[in-house]
Amino acid sequence: MTNKKIENIPASVGADCIYEIIDRDGVAVVSNLLDEDSLHHLRDDLNPSFDAAQFCQGVYFGVRTKRIHSLVLKSETYRKFAVLTVTVDVAKRILGPYCEKIQINGTQGIEIWPGAPEQILHRDDQKFPRLTDKIQYMVNIILALTDFTIENGCTRFAIGSHRWLDRSREPAPEDMAFAEMKAGDAVIFVGSIF
């Protein structure tokens, strides 16, 4: 088992500090991005879509997993979350030096049901070539609507793998760390991390 940990910091430390951790580790948990009232409204907005959604097909997407899309159209609360100053500033720090502007690529809600197998380890940017470890093509943010624990299958990351230029290298168990967090927290990570 791993002894690596994902650094968990409050949003109040600011974008520069969060950026430095993500630049070093590839990932950081930022606590208390949404308060309980906002979480309640967001769940209320999204639950009808989750109730209507079918389980996904295929191992990658999860046969015991429901996915919904276009969250900015479904929730005023989500629209406010999507443009939080601290997360936008972190994304600008990571992506800004390499592009004229940043944009939201997609918004997705994922509901993983009991009995779902672990998703295969992957890099979200695997469709892009990695010529250097400096340029990042995407920044992802997973907002926890419920507590994320090892027991309920929280997302796992290979700390530092965003710096591996050898794309054939696979993470070892000792590289892995788990994004445990409370509802309202978010894990922010670059697309090149496993």
Q: Kindly indicate the confidence band of residue 47, based on its pLDDT and cuts at 50, 70 and 90.
A: very high
Report pTM: 0.94
pLDDT > 90: what percent of the chain?
81
Q: Minimal CA–CA distance to 189: which of 27, 18, 19?
A: 27
Tell me the CB-side half-sphere exposure of residue 62, using CA atoms within 13 A. 19
Residue 83, C-beta contacts closer than 8 angstroms, at least 6 positions apart: none
Work out whether the CA dihedral 69, 65, 172, 30 comes out positive or negative. Answer: positive
Can you tell me the mean pLDDT for 165-186?
93
Mean per-residue pLDDT for 50-76? Answer: 94
**pLDDT tens track for 7-45:** 999 999 999 999 999 999 999 999 999 999 999 999 999
Q: What is the pLDDT of residue 155?
A: 95
Kindly report the backbone phi and psi dihedral angles of residue 22, in degrees, each rounded to the nearest multiple of 5, phi listed first: -65, -40
Q: Are 27 and 163 within 8 A, CB to CB?
A: no
**Over 60: is that where the pLDDT of 1 sits?**
no
State the distance between the two ends of the chain, measured CA to CA, in whole angstroms.
Answer: 17
For the packed helices 85-95 and 15-25, what is the interaxial angle rounded to 10 degrees?
Answer: 50
Residues 191/148/158/17 CA torsion (nearest 10 deg): 70
State the pLDDT at residue 2.
Answer: 60
CA atoms within 13 A on the CB side of 24: 10
Query: Which contacts of 124-132 are long-range, i.e. CB under 8 A and separated by 24 or more positions?
Result: 124/191, 125/190, 125/191, 125/192, 128/191, 130/165, 130/167, 130/192, 132/165
Instruction: Give the β-pairing of 8-10 and 27-31.
Output: parallel
